[in-house]
Amino acid sequence: MNDNLHQLRCFGCGARISGAEARPDFRCSSCGDLFEVEYAGWNQRQGHDRPNPGALKWLWRERRCSTEPLDQSGVWRFRELLPILDNFGNAVTLREGNTPLYPLLRSAKALGIDQLFAKHQGMNPTGSFKDTGMTAALSVAKERGFEWVACASTGNTSAAMSAYAARAGLRCLVLIPEGKIAWGKLSQAMDYGAITCQLKTDFDGCVKLLTKIVRESPIYLLNSVNPYRLEGQKTPAFEIAEAFDWNVPDHLIVPGGNLANSAALGKGFRELHELGLVARLPKISVIQAQGANPLARAFAANDGQSIEPVEAHTRATAIRIGNPASWRKAARVIHETGGWCLDVSEAEIAIAKAELGAEGLGCEPASAVTLAGLKKLRAQGKVAGSETVVLILTGHTLKDADYTIDFHRGTLLSEKESAGHEIAIEALRRNAVAVDATPEAVLAAMQVDAR
């Protein structure tokens, strides 16, 4: 079986190469920009050769009832739209994707929005959206015969890579910034058998070093500069469109770190549109943490035409990134869909996370920027109450339990950070209390909490 129909197109200069010709750092040898996977001929194909929208929609839904591992994956059940392997039999899957879409009734009411949903990508096998990209890119590594894979990470990519590498029997190397990733994520890399190096630098420093290493050794790079990652990460767009019966929601809100996820979701919707599976694109907005906001600054300064890297600081460690690799791709998605790019403060992130928790949907802090960003967009009149909005929650709450505990204990934010938000924070805090082991003491504690 030869399923492979793709080529790589440089996002900067448009140069086209085959997958096998890509450099180990996935940069264009002419202009240094990143590549995108392109499926030559999709649009030119005529008649019976052109994918039939009705047949595809039926097939993808049918596969949800299948017992085949590939069909049970929320990535590979859409494999007609990601023919990146020579043989789909090489796919390495943990049954990723097919994540839930939850209505957010309380937040919707508070914001005066009729239809508000959370697509919870934290419900993936390793607890983050990275699994959807990793199944795609790691399968390519396996098919191409690599023995080693590697990534620099703020934690979730390394957790996902280590798990998929273990399933495929590949060795893996993880570079992480020392002391700046959440324990839950570090523990996963250890558990799945990665060689984990904690470096005395930040995420951007880890990326630089790894780029040098892969240029000199036969190691397959699995950071999101690898265009195959984005092919997997575009599939939640298909799931969202399917969940709304192929009428896309009005607005999608995505956290922004290295900016590959927003780029991937935009690509997913663009391809659905080009193939006639949906009639329009949703607006896609990207939200960053104020201390790690190069794209938000760029949109404020020059409509996202150029970025200045920043030294990143935020307790939302997953998005503590000052020099995002995929910023051009993300900026294009924001422009072509009519979305926005904003930043939110540490207090706004913490409050939004606690509000999502109070709806029974925990998530990690980086994911909560979406709700915090929506509040701002709504206040600025950029989201109407009649619109259907989907927040992309990227990681599971247990990834960073320290953050949650610090918030509820009241030790997360400095006085300066919480200034002006004290009432909202107090209303949400639910610290664990030490009480005597008697019924009276426990009943009294219940009264205190009934504020």
Query: Judged by CB under 6 A, does residue 364 bind ligand F0G?
Result: yes
Residue of 256, 268, 294, 322 that binds ligand F0G (CB under 6 A): 256
Query: Judged by CB under 6 A, does residue 366 bind ligand F0G?
Result: yes
Query: Judged by CB under 6 A, does residue 157 bind ligand F0G?
Result: yes
Query: Judged by CB under 6 A, does residue 319 bind ligand F0G?
Result: yes
Query: Judged by CB under 6 A, does residue 258 bind ligand F0G?
Result: yes
3-state secondary structure of 294: helix
Site residues for ligand F0G, 134-153, by CB under 6 A, read 153
CB of 353 vs ligand F0G, minimal distance in Å: 12
CA–CA dist 156, 38 (Å, integer): 27
List the 251-255 sheet strands across, edge first: 101-103, 115-120, 388-393, 251-255, 283-289, 341-344
Residue of 74, 255, 291, 339 that binds ligand F0G (CB under 6 A): 255
CB of 226 vs ligand F0G, minimal distance in Å: 12
List the 16-17 sheet strands across, edge first: 16-17, 6-10, 35-39
Nearer to ligand F0G, 337 or 367 (CB): 367
Nearer to ligand F0G, 60 or 327 (CB): 327
Nearer to ligand F0G, 254 or 275 (CB): 254
Query: Judged by CB under 6 A, does residue 224 bind ligand F0G?
Result: yes
Nearer to ligand F0G, 60 or 164 (CB): 164
| DSSP run (H or E) holding 10 | strand 6-10
CB contact at 8 A, 5 and 88:
no
* Distances in whole angstroms, Cα of residue 193 to Cα of each of 186, 372, 451: 11, 36, 47
CB of 278 vs ligand F0G, minimal distance in Å: 23
Residue of 99, 124, 126, 156 that binds ligand F0G (CB under 6 A): 156
CB of 255 vs ligand F0G, minimal distance in Å: 4
Nearer to ligand F0G, 210 or 272 (CB): 210
Number of H helices, E strands in the chain: 18, 13
Nearer to ligand F0G, 63 or 120 (CB): 120
Helices 156-168 and 130-143 cross at an angle (nearest 10°) of: 40
| Structural tokens at position 115 | 């239809």
Comparing CA positions, the residue from 323, 297, 325, 302 lying closest to residue 311 is 323
Pairing type for strands 171-177 and 101-103 reads unpaired
List the 171-177 sheet strands across, edge first: 195-199, 171-177, 148-152, 219-221
Q: Look at the alpha carbons of 293, 294, 295, 298 in this order and tell me if their dihedral is positive or negative.
A: positive
Single-letter code of the amino acid located at 233? Q
Site residues for ligand F0G, 324-363, by CB under 6 A, read none
Which window, 72-80, 251-259, 293-301, 427-435, contacts ligand F0G (CB under 6 A)? 251-259
Query: Judged by CB under 6 A, does residue 155 bind ligand F0G?
Result: yes
Query: Judged by CB under 6 A, does residue 318 bind ligand F0G?
Result: yes
What character string, x for contact with ligand F0G (CB under 6 A) and - otherwise, covers 373-402?
---------------------xx-------
What character string, x for contact with ligand F0G (CB under 6 A) and - otherwise, covers 88-117?
------------------------------
What character string, x for contact with ligand F0G (CB under 6 A) and - otherwise, covers 290-309?
--------------------
CA–CA dist 232, 152 (Å, integer): 19
Residue with tokens 């448009």: 14
| Residue 443: exposure state from Cβ atoms within 10 A (0-12, 13-18, ≥19) | exposed
CB contact at 8 A, 396 and 364:
yes
Which residues of this chain interact with ligand F0G, rule CB under 6 A?
A: 128, 130, 153-157, 224, 255-261, 318-319, 364, 366-367, 394-395
